[in-house]
A and B are shown apart, each in its own frame.
Chain A
Amino acid sequence: MTTSAPSPIAPDSATVSRPLVNRLGPLAWMRRNLFSTWYNALLTVLIVWVLAQAIPALFHWLISNSLLAPATSQECRLVDGACWAFIQEKYRLILFGTFPYNQQWRPLFAVVLVIAMLLASCDRRMWNRRLGVIWGVGMTMVAILMWGGVLGLDYVENSLWGGLPLTLLLAVVGLAVAFPLSILLALGRRSRLPIIKSLSVTYIELIRGVPLISLLFMASVMLPLFLPVGMNPDKLLRAQIAFIMFAAAYLAEVIRGGLQAIPRGQYEAADALGLTYWQKTVKIILPQALTIVIPPIVNTFIAFFKDTSLVMIIGIFDLMNASKAALNDAEWRGFYRESYLFIAVIYFVFCFFMSKYSQSLERDLKRGHQH
């Protein structure tokens, strides 16, 4: 460029300088990104070699050597490919547990309904009272589908529930109840009222100091010891309560982090306008605090979604436990890889979606009000 005299800023398209865009050819791109230094070159070669080993082997196992439905377990054992016939044989047991076989359309509908409601809740335009109504009606329908006993549906005890609907219900109900509870706990921990504060602190520290497994054990084994004979709240409910208590304590600490990130000026401005404590909290503080902690909240949600699999230690047949049950069939014993891969994919789809959604939500909420 010439170093001409500083001209007055004129919208002359010829002189407007554009940002330089470097177009790289494929060779130049590779040199810059893959072989820029000797150790990067070494890493590139190493990674290509590993992929060259792994991908064909995986392809053979997953696809070309795998066996589909008409194959029997004996045939499967003779080849070194995946036995998808096993999944085809057992998928209903894995997905729906021991729910009566000819009634399994009911948990299927329940799952579809829950997923539909979750998707609807993702849309921010739906965040109003209507969403509460949708969930109220939806969960009632889910309960009717799962339990039955009305509308001509056979009654199904919840000890027979299992698989994906159970995992989803534990996670969705658990987090839906734990989340508002955790907000109250986080606010309580920051309260100026000594009793509320110490109750919140004690609760959070006590629950956080105990592994979820031991809490589940306590809920399942110890609780009945303290209750009068004959009064035996059901196992699933006890697990759900333990799960809620645990999630609430963890989420409370995450939310407290968000509350602490709000500048004092926001509290003062709200106070100076004469807002009451709850108006200030609901209208000013929480919207900002929760936006800040979306990533760690989703992180916690994802962790707890997977932690529902711990209920298997007290004999509840969630997705994880149901897949183990499928392996207990003497004829199909040993097809662990197929079984775990199958449920891993299911867990992954849900968690990946949560992660993607949180990223888009973060972008949406930050747009417009950059600090």
Chain B
Amino acid sequence: MSTAEAATATDPNAGIIQMIGVHKWYGEFHVLRDINLSVTKGERIVLCGPSGSGKSTLIRCINRLEEHQKGQIIVDGVELTGNLKQIEAVRREVGMVFQHFNLFPHLTILENCTLAPIWVRKEPKAQAEATAMKYLERVRIPEQANKYPGQLSGGQQQRVAIARSLCMNPKVMLFDEPTSALDPEMVKEVLDVMIGLAEEGMTMLCVTHEMGFAKSVANRVLFMDRGEIVEQNEPHEFFNNPQSDRTKLFLSQILSH
């Protein structure tokens, strides 16, 4: 297991996620170009950029929903390769929240939350249910536990999706445009939950267009365009003093109204 040894031998202070020279192509289309990113524990990163810039692809590479073709991605000391065991090990520690929630429609809210802890973590059912109820209370919908996803509003479903991820007790949470599919009046209830998570020190990578969220919670804002990380900075500097022209253009477009 040379890869595993190499992975565990990496510097423990190097950060919980390391992307080194990562490239990815969809056919001929170069979707990620030489991505270098190191995320330390507890860091909260917001990725923004025009659509098609590769930001979703980037975070989907971190739990290998997308495969990178060049470079190295190391998550919590485990390198992502074709090795299924290593991929599953990474996925156990990395939670993900999707734009379209992707709750399991045939299972109740509670079953959605306990499925992975029971089958992946091998937790006893009672313990998994207790944990699930704790997190459902935290996202403020414990009373919906026995309903099915189809009976909940979009905002409630997204909060369940967050709770479902938290039940696995992840070390990192990835958010892929978590509020983009929501009606405007439901965006806040989801952002509130995410802000709460950030305040508790969760390591977060969040693709979002909610610049207010970026300003108030992020340690670092990354701007991506055409598959590259064009600019990164702490939020105050990023918004008030953007360096590259592409960033300026993007910010003027999204902040102008």
Same complex origin of A and B: yes
Q: Which residues of A contact B (CB under 8 A)?
A: 263, 265-266, 268-276, 279, 283-284, 287-288, 291, 365, 368-371
| Nearest 5 interchain pairs by C-beta | A269-B102, A274-B91, A265-B102, A273-B116, A369-B148
- How many pairs of residues, A versus B, come closer than 8 Å at their CB atoms? 71
A77 to B43, CA, bound (A): 95
Interface residues of B in 78-96 (CB under 8 A from A): 88, 91-92, 94-96
7 other A-B residue contacts (CB within 8 Å) besides A272-B63, A368-B151 = A272-B65, A272-B91, A273-B164, A274-B116, A291-B106, A368-B148, A371-B105
Q: In whole angstroms, what is the CA distance A183 to B20 when docked?
A: 42
A283 and B100 contacting across the interface, CB-CB below 8 Å: no
The residues of B with any CB-CB pair to A shorter than 8 Å are: 63, 65, 88, 91-92, 94-96, 98, 100, 102-106, 115-116, 119-120, 148-151, 164-165, 168
Docked pose: A283 CA to B91 CA in angstroms: 18
Partner of A371, one of B91, B95, B115, B150: B150
A residues near B65, Cβ cutoff 8 Å: 268, 271-272
Contact assessment for B119 and A275 in the assembled complex, using a CB-CB cutoff below 8 Å: yes
- Residues of B near A269 (CB, < 8 A) are 96, 98, 102-104
Contacts of A279 in B (CB 8 A): 119-120
How far, in Å, is A191 (CB) from chain B's closest CB?
14
> What is the distance, in angstroms, from A278's C-beta to the closest C-beta of chain B?
10
Q: Is the CB of B120 within 8 A of A275?
A: yes
Cβ contact within 8 Å between B102 and A273: no
Query: Once bound together, how far apart are the Cα atoms of A269 and B105, in whole Å?
Result: 12
Q: Is the CB of A266 within 8 A of B150?
A: no
Q: What is the bound-complex CA distance between A284 and B115, given in angstroms?
A: 10
Task: Please give, as numbers and ranges, the residues of chain B lying within 8 Å of A270 by CB-CB distance.
Answer: 104
What is the bound-complex CA distance between A272 and B116, given in angstroms? 10
Q: How far is the CA of A268 from the CA of B60 in the complex (A)?
A: 10
B residues near A273, Cβ cutoff 8 Å: 91, 115-116, 120, 164-165, 168
> In whole angstroms, how far apart are the Cα atoms of A292 and B105 in the complex?
12
Question: Do residues A288 and B106 form an inter-chain contact, with CB atoms below 8 A?
Answer: yes
How distant is the Cα of A284 from the Cα of B150 in the complex, in angstroms?
Answer: 16
Pairwise interchain contact B106-A287, C-beta atoms closer than 8 A:
yes
In the assembled complex, 24 residue pairs joining A and B whose CB atoms fall closer than 8 Å, in A order, are: A266-B102, A268-B65, A268-B102, A269-B104, A271-B63, A271-B65, A271-B91, A272-B63, A272-B95, A272-B96, A272-B98, A272-B165, A273-B164, A274-B92, A274-B120, A274-B168, A275-B120, A284-B115, A291-B106, A365-B106, A369-B149, A369-B150, A370-B148, A370-B150
A293 nearest CB across to chain B (Å): 14
Closest residue of B by beta carbon distance from A273: B116
Docked Cα-Cα span, A369 to B146, in Å, equals: 11
Please name the residue on chain B nearest to A367 by beta carbon: B148
Chain A: which residue is nearest B167 at the CB level?
A: A273
Which A residue's beta carbon lies closest to that of B89? A274
B168 CB contacts on chain A under 8 angstroms: 273-274
A368→B168 CA distance, assembly (Å): 26
Interface centre among A271, A272, A369 (most CB of B within 10 A): A272
Task: Report yes or no: B98 in contact with A268, Cβ–Cβ below 8 A.
Answer: yes
